[in-house]
Amino acid sequence: MLVSYELVDDIGVITVNNPPVNALSHGVREGLVTALATAQADSSKAIVLLCEGRTFIAGADISEFGKPPQAPSLPEVNAAIEGASKPVIAALHGTALGGGFEVALSCHYRCAVSDAAVGLPEVKLGLLPGAGGTQRVPRLIGVEAALDMIASGKPVTAAKALKLGLIDRVVDAPLKAAALAYARELVAEGAMLRRVRDMTVPAEDASAEQFASWRTTLGKRMRGQQAPQRIVACVEAASRLPFDEGLAFERGQFVECTESEQSAALRHIFFAERQAPKVLGLDPASQPRPIQRVGIIGGGTMGGGIAMCFANAGIPVTLLELNQDGLDRGLALIGKNYGITVSKGKLSEQEAIRRERLIRGTTDYADLGEVDLVIEAVFESMEVKRQVFARLDEVCKPGAILATNTSYLDVNEIARVTSRPQDVVGLHFFSPANIMRLLEVVRADDTADDVLATAMAIGKRIGKVPVLARVCFGFIGNRMLRQYAREAQLCMIEGASPEQIDGALTGFGMAMGPLAVGDLAGLDIGYKARQALTDAQKGDPKSYCIADALVEMGRLGQKSGAGYYRYDPETRARSVDPEVLEVIEAQASKHGVSPRALSSDEILDRHLMALVNEGFRILEEGIAQRPGDIDVAYVHGYGFPAYQGGPMFYAAQRGLASVRDRLKALQRQTGAGYWEPAPLLERLVSKGKSLDDWMAEKH
């Protein structure tokens, strides 16, 4: 039964039991109304509302959005609760989120165990609280705190919720007994039916200027997103209108959000993130291997960041470098990074020290004998990696997982150096590794099922979004990135400035434009990689000549103070550099290209088409398991705006036929083979099928 009711002495207890997260599906909403009616009619003096399982209600059932609504709606359920003639007490554990917290806000009193959290994360789904959250929260805690909570979507701990006034009491577990005791106490003192709807929003921070300032701030912080602006409008309505009118305004805004493309995209990403770690066809009996201690080889940019990921999750790390100097440098960088986090107030000094102490340095492979997982992050050279893996094979205990963080190299070749290819896997982190959430798990030909299961589990444990990839040059993300980076170079030589190109992409919502990203990563990296390639492998010189010319002038990007842009040595502020425009002109003339004006639409479209076409190839070759996996990779590894849903979602929304036609037009215009539509795309269009149809047929 989704919702049950019992009478415990003189207290009615309504229990929701809808695993895994007690989402407010139609059945739960109906069950709540029925149970409430029973409680109203019996001898109970107060009613406790609580949940079975791991959490209080974690929100509306997201899978119901976009489908026809079914009565009772959540606002109706909440009105029934708030209108009850006996005190209703919400008893919270786990995460009371979204509609779940709105149910609690409709109760007359709220208690929570100390490790509970409450929040209104709707904004992360392109939504706003649609069942009174924007009207009740400002009544309880004022406009500033309410906007802070609702526009960020971040949950707050029970202690903070108590301090703010969102809940009334923090209780000790077991929750049911504590909630019953609290209810009896309220009955004994004749507590009133405290309805948040009857409160007024404190006037002090509700001025027109205040709301205007929030609109500007959120316009910058959540650039391009519609829901945050609507949230401000709803909270403003709470401060200006009577409760029922405010609620109606909120509902209207909420319904429009549920119908928006941005919310459809964000909901797609929500479910895709949860699908991605599931490996299709994996032996169901394969259990993750226990990971208690981790080794990392190489304490450079990536190794240090990866070490922090594990230390942050409380997992001890042994970091191995070539020599003491390298080790000192690596450990110092880790210390510096923790220091920055502390100085930003995001971590206590004590906690930073505790985490740093979990990372132990060594130069001796013998110290890796006990690790359960080792991740290699040395130079991107097959020769060096082969040496490292041969050594790991000698020292690591049987069953230890040997992983490589390589960006491009063949994981099968690396695995073959060892006597245990079944234990070798790619774990490809993204820079900065302690921040970026994507983790590509690269499955080599012999990788064992339980190694994949472990990789997915450990990825989640350290807060990453793991995505499975097969071996190819660049796996999912970097293979697509090559096509995208090519377009940036070609748009430049055809006449677009770096600023115009980056502007077109950031205008779409990308966190950074491709050329600013190049400057951040260092232009020498691509340059060195190209040096190892033959001319044929490098492709059309127009797709790299500007980058090469800049590196040869010593313009390596941010680290040398100049790349596609010039950087202020103090502030790192970026400015346009006429010297770069001269380089572009010179290269265009050298390669016989006459500059023309490119529109931002053309620039954006070419970049997106380059990603999408390669995405279809990657899917067909089985490099990625699902279109959603590609989307998750691009959102969490490459700054693709989640509210655009990722490249494959974009393609599906635009229509596969339109994508195919655009690719054909580009092919006609340029004569370039890479614009030929991917065979999978052609096939789907000719059969009138979608990517979802293709996935359904495959499995």
Minimum distance, C-beta of residue 20 to ligand NAI, in the bound complex (Å):
33
Verify binding: residue 395, ligand NAI, rule CB under 6 A: no
Cα dihedral 477/483/485/489 (nearest 10)? 180
With CB under 5 to 8 Å by kind, the binding choice for 406 among ligand NAI, ligand 3HC, none is: ligand NAI
Verify binding: residue 407, ligand NAI, rule CB under 6 A: yes
Verify binding: residue 279, ligand NAI, rule CB under 6 A: no
| Residue span 608-637 as binding mask against ligand NAI, x where in contact by CB under 6 A, dash where not | ------------------------------
How deeply is 395 buried, as exposed, middle or buried, from its count of CB atoms within 10 A (0-12, 13-18, 19+)? middle
How deeply is 57 buried, as exposed, middle or buried, from its count of CB atoms within 10 A (0-12, 13-18, 19+)? buried
CA R_g for the chain: 28
Is residue 307 within 8 Å of residue 333, measured between CB atoms? no
CA distances from 617 to 121, 146, 444 (A): 35, 46, 19
Per CB under 6 A, the list member of 406, 418, 454, 543 interacting with ligand NAI is 406
With CB under 5 to 8 Å by kind, the binding choice for 380 among ligand 3HC, ligand NAI, none is: ligand NAI
Looking at the Cβ atoms of 116 and 400, the one nearer to ligand 3HC is 116
Looking at the Cβ atoms of 50 and 492, the one nearer to ligand 3HC is 50
With CB under 5 to 8 Å by kind, the binding choice for 102 among ligand 3HC, ligand NAI, none is: ligand 3HC
Kindly determine how many residues on this chain lie close enough to bind ligand NAI according to the rule CB under 6 A.
25
Paired strand residues for 429 = 439
Per CB under 6 A, the list member of 326, 335, 509, 539 interacting with ligand NAI is 326
CA 284/CA 282 separation, integer angstroms: 6
**Which segments within 397-544 are labelled E, that is strand?**
401-404, 424-429, 438-443, 465-470
Minimum distance, C-beta of residue 433 to ligand NAI, in the bound complex (Å):
7
Cα angle 391, 395, 399 (rounded to 5 degrees) comes to 110
With CB under 5 to 8 Å by kind, the binding choice for 103 among ligand NAI, ligand 3HC, none is: none
With CB under 5 to 8 Å by kind, the binding choice for 119 among ligand 3HC, ligand NAI, none is: none
Minimum distance, C-beta of residue 160 to ligand 3HC, in the bound complex (Å):
17
Stretch that binds ligand NAI, among 99-107, 140-148, 319-327, 490-498 (CB under 6 A): 319-327
In the Cβ-directed half-sphere of 353, how many Cα atoms lie within 13 Å? Answer: 3
CA distances from 228 to 216, 219, 330, 552, 583 (A): 11, 8, 40, 45, 42
With CB under 5 to 8 Å by kind, the binding choice for 274 among ligand NAI, ligand 3HC, none is: ligand 3HC
Q: Which residues are catalytic?
A: 102, 122
Per CB under 6 A, the list member of 11, 247, 334, 388 interacting with ligand NAI is 388
**Which segments within 528-589 are labelled E, that is strand?**
566-567, 574-575
Verify binding: residue 337, ligand NAI, rule CB under 6 A: no
Stretch that binds ligand NAI, among 41-49, 239-247, 378-386, 599-607 (CB under 6 A): 378-386
| Residue span 428-447 as binding mask against ligand NAI, x where in contact by CB under 6 A, dash where not | -xxx----------------
Q: In the sheet that 95-97 helps form, which strands lie side by side, from edge to edge?
A: 95-97, 117-119, 156-157
With CB under 5 to 8 Å by kind, the binding choice for 20 among ligand 3HC, ligand NAI, none is: ligand 3HC
With CB under 5 to 8 Å by kind, the binding choice for 504 among ligand 3HC, ligand NAI, none is: none
Verify binding: residue 473, ligand NAI, rule CB under 6 A: no
Stretch that binds ligand NAI, among 202-210, 405-413, 561-569, 663-671 (CB under 6 A): 405-413
Is residue 596 within 8 Å of residue 494, measured between CB atoms? yes
CA 501/CA 510 separation, integer angstroms: 12
Minimum distance, C-beta of residue 320 to ligand NAI, in the bound complex (Å):
6
Looking at the Cβ atoms of 234 and 485, the one nearer to ligand 3HC is 234
Minimum distance, C-beta of residue 604 to ligand NAI, in the bound complex (Å):
25
Q: Which position's Cβ is nearest ligand NAI? A: 300
Strand 566-567 and strand 574-575: pairing? antiparallel
Q: Which residue has the tokens 């260092």?
A: 522
With CB under 5 to 8 Å by kind, the binding choice for 321 among ligand 3HC, ligand NAI, none is: ligand NAI
Per CB under 6 A, the list member of 107, 147, 151, 297 interacting with ligand NAI is 297
Q: Which uninterrupted H or E stretch holds 117?
A: strand 117-119
Q: Which uninterrupted H or E stretch holds 247?
A: helix 243-258
Q: What is the DSSP string of 153-214?
A: ---EEHHHHHHHTSSSEEEPSSHHHHHHHHHHHHHHTT-----GGGS---STT--HHHHHHH
Stretch that binds ligand NAI, among 4-12, 228-236, 376-384, 674-682 (CB under 6 A): 376-384
Q: Which of residues 475-494 bind ligand NAI (CB under 6 A)?
A: none
CA 403/CA 395 separation, integer angstroms: 14
Strand 156-157 and strand 117-119: pairing? antiparallel
With CB under 5 to 8 Å by kind, the binding choice for 63 among ligand NAI, ligand 3HC, none is: ligand 3HC
Q: Which of residues 512-551 bind ligand NAI (CB under 6 A)?
A: 521
Is residue 680 within 8 Å of residue 694, measured between CB atoms? yes
Minimum distance, C-beta of residue 520 to ligand NAI, in the bound complex (Å):
9
Verify binding: residue 342, ligand NAI, rule CB under 6 A: no
- Give φ, ψ of 60 to 5 degrees: -60, 160
How deeply is 111 buried, as exposed, middle or buried, from its count of CB atoms within 10 A (0-12, 13-18, 19+)? buried
Per CB under 6 A, the list member of 303, 513, 641, 677 interacting with ligand NAI is 303
Looking at the Cβ atoms of 300 and 495, the one nearer to ligand NAI is 300
Minimum distance, C-beta of residue 556 to ligand NAI, in the bound complex (Å):
14
Per CB under 6 A, the list member of 39, 97, 113, 302 interacting with ligand NAI is 302
Residue from 332, 333, 407, 337 nearest 377 by CA = 407
* Three-class secondary structure assignment of 323-362: CHHHHHHHHHHHHHHHHHHHHCCCCCHHHHHHHHHCEEEE
Binding site for ligand 3HC (CB under 6 A): 20-21, 23, 55, 58-63, 74, 95, 97-99, 102, 121-122, 125, 127, 129-131, 133, 271, 274
With CB under 5 to 8 Å by kind, the binding choice for 378 among ligand NAI, ligand 3HC, none is: ligand NAI
- Give φ, ψ of 425 to 5 degrees: -150, 155
CA 140/CA 164 separation, integer angstroms: 8
Looking at the Cβ atoms of 39 and 166, the one nearer to ligand 3HC is 166
> Which residues would be at the binding site for ligand NAI (CB under 6 A)?
297-303, 320-322, 326, 330, 377-380, 384, 388, 405-407, 429-431, 521
